[in-house]
Amino acid sequence: MQRSSDVLVIGAGVIGCAIAYELGRRGVSVVVIDDRKPGAGATQASAGMLAPYNEVEAEGPHLELTVRALDRFDRFVARVVEDSGVAVRYCRTGTLTLAFTGESQMHLERVGALARARGVQAELLEAADVAREEPAAASTARAGLVIPAHGYVAAHQLIEALVAAASRHGVSFVTGVRVQAIRQRGEIVTASAGTEILTAAHAIHAAGSWTGQLVVDGAVPAPVHPVRGQLLHLKAVGPNVRRVTWGDRCYLVPWDDGSLLVGATVEHAGFDEATTVGGMSDLLGGVASTLRSDWRATLVGARAGLRPGTPDDLPIIGPSAVAPRVWYATGHYRNGVLLAPITASFLADAMLGQRVDPLLESMRPGRFGRL
């Protein structure tokens, strides 16, 4: 079958879906293609944390990008909910980061100073205040840091809403087929996927960990590697923890229905998306050292996803050097959900010739050669 559109988006993770939605609402005709259903890759294993100061711990373009990404999240979620009619659990509960060693206490102090230097509230707590702030915290915590601006979004609901909102703006989704080849000839981009031939004026390569396996004709493979993250889903029996809470060995994301997501392992296991007894055991051990050992919960399940890592931990966003109508939007590593809205709007602005944000310079594909 032959299909054509203004833009072809390869990859229906949170990045691909956010881009498709953004372009669709600007009147662009878009086809999204993926071999799985939307959000079935890294996104389904994401705890949806929105915590730039915990994720990026030094000044630079990465922190700037994540901070600006968080700033636009309220508006983004409100618009997607309105456009889709799908409810999305989204809370700015703040984060509580706990320190259990002198070294992690010094680290907290550095993170607090980094946030305050940007005018963001960040309150250091002594051990006695930690217990007041979070009664479930282990009594061995010697200090804490609260950053009230942080939060989380339920990634599976965000995907559902993005797909519904994009569809309302005319975006088509083709699933169950994998793109095997992509090339630009003149002003046309062509992708082949099984019996499908898709042509477009532009394509977006948003295949996450699999980006390097789909090499743009004439380019070198994108240096994106899979970094497995396993996640546990617990259910509190009694009061849940109050905020997103980070310990030395795991982070905890509490939902208002009593769910507690516990993440995440960081493993180099190739393309293996399985959960393992070792990974689950590490995470459970992490909860037991972060919270009081008599904190009551049951185990709901576990899942794993592959974060798309890059050599410098920064995403790859921008046009291919060899096929400038193919744009990369990949390599978001630990922050795909947080960075989805800003990636979508930067990319739509640049592709539609409206504005190239100066931050994109640090993310340009060409930093890795003839991509």
The DSSP secondary-structure symbol of 291 reads B
Question: Based on CB atoms, which residue is closest to ligand GLY, 229 or 279?
Answer: 229
Question: Based on CB atoms, which residue is closest to ligand GLY, 16 or 48?
Answer: 48
Question: Based on CB atoms, which residue is closest to ligand GLY, 175 or 281?
Answer: 281
Q: Phi/psi of residue 339, each to 5°?
A: -90, 0
Least distance from ligand GLY to the Cβ atom of residue 45, Å = 9
Least distance from ligand GLY to the Cβ atom of residue 4, Å = 36
Question: Based on CB atoms, which residue is closest to ligand GLY, 6 or 313?
Answer: 313
Tell me the CA distances in angstroms from 323 to 90, 121, 190, 328, 371, one per residue in order: 38, 44, 11, 11, 9
* CB proximity list for 255: less than 8 A, separation 6 or greater: 89, 154, 240, 261
Q: Is residue 353 helix, strand or coil? A: coil
Question: Based on CB atoms, which residue is closest to ligand GLY, 5 or 230?
Answer: 230
Residues 42-81 touching ligand GLY, rule: CB under 6 A, are 49, 55
Least distance from ligand GLY to the Cβ atom of residue 307, Å = 5
Of 144, 151, 208, 229, which lies in the binding site for ligand GLY, with binding defined by CB under 6 A?
Answer: 229
Least distance from ligand GLY to the Cβ atom of residue 263, Å = 5
Question: Based on CB atoms, which residue is closest to ligand GLY, 80 or 264?
Answer: 264
Distance CA 295, CA 267 (A): 28
Question: Based on CB atoms, which residue is closest to ligand GLY, 49 or 204?
Answer: 49
Tell me the CA distances in angstroms from 15 to 41, 57, 70, 279, 317, one per residue in order: 11, 23, 15, 26, 11
Number of residues that bind ligand GLY (CB under 6 A): 7
Least distance from ligand GLY to the Cβ atom of residue 53, Å = 13
Nearest in space to 227 (alpha carbons), one of 273, 263, 262, 266: 266
CA dihedral 15, 149, 266, 302 (to 10 degrees): -80
Q: Phi/psi of residue 245, each to 5°?
A: -125, 130
Least distance from ligand GLY to the Cβ atom of residue 246, Å = 10
Judged by CB under 6 A, does residue 334 bind ligand GLY? yes
Least distance from ligand GLY to the Cβ atom of residue 199, Å = 35
Tokens of 135: 């009664």
Least distance from ligand GLY to the Cβ atom of residue 274, Å = 17
Contact at 8 Å (CB) between 47 and 253? yes
Least distance from ligand GLY to the Cβ atom of residue 51, Å = 8
Per DSSP, the residues of 236-271 read ESSSPPSSEEE-SS-EEEE-TTSEEEEE---B--TT
Question: Based on CB atoms, which residue is closest to ligand GLY, 184 or 275?
Answer: 275
Residues 262-281 touching ligand GLY, rule: CB under 6 A, are 263-264
Question: Based on CB atoms, which residue is closest to ligand GLY, 307 or 325?
Answer: 307
Residue 32 burial class via C-beta count within 10 angstroms: exposed 0-12, middle 13-18, buried 19 and up? buried
Judged by CB under 6 A, does residue 154 bind ligand GLY? no
The DSSP secondary-structure symbol of 137 reads B
Of 307, 332, 341, 351, which lies in the binding site for ligand GLY, with binding defined by CB under 6 A?
Answer: 307
The DSSP secondary-structure symbol of 216 reads B
Q: How many CB atoms lie within 10 A of CB 27?
A: 10
Least distance from ligand GLY to the Cβ atom of residue 76, Å = 18
Question: Based on CB atoms, which residue is closest to ligand GLY, 7 or 340?
Answer: 340
Helical (H) or strand (E) element with 155: helix 155-168
The neighbouring-strand residues paired with 34 are: 175
Distance CA 56, CA 73 (A): 18
Judged by CB under 6 A, does residue 111 bind ligand GLY? no
> Could you list the residues that contact ligand GLY (CB under 6 A)?
49, 55, 229, 263-264, 307, 334
